[in-house]
Amino acid sequence: MTTRKPQIRVSDHAIVRWLQRECGWDIEALRTTIGECCERGAAAGAPVVIVGSVKFVIEDNVVVTTLDKTMRPRKPRAR
């Protein structure tokens, strides 16, 4: 059976809110956990912090994305 892709686009924000409200995910607890994992590396100026099987990309003291270990971060945006 083939699954048809919906014609409507679903934003990341909508997915996060659905996980929070329908699935019961505690987004703030996840945010705290990620922040704690990255704090030391960010304080040392690391642009990437590896935790388990993922890389957290940090720009201007903000975790901006999560990559798997095989992925390479893009160069930071010019400001």
pLDDT in tens, 1-51: 678 888 999 999 999 999 999 999 999 999 999 999 999 999 999 999 999
User: Which residues touch 24 (CB under 8 Å, ≥6 apart)?
Assistant: none
Provide the 10 A C-beta neighbour count for residue 48.
Answer: 13
Tell me the C-alpha distance between 63 and 56, whole Å.
Answer: 6
Whole-number pLDDT of residue 73: 80
User: Which residues touch 34 (CB under 8 Å, ≥6 apart)?
Assistant: 56, 63, 66
pTM of the full structure: 0.78
CA distances from 42 to 51, 56, 58, 71 (A): 13, 10, 7, 19
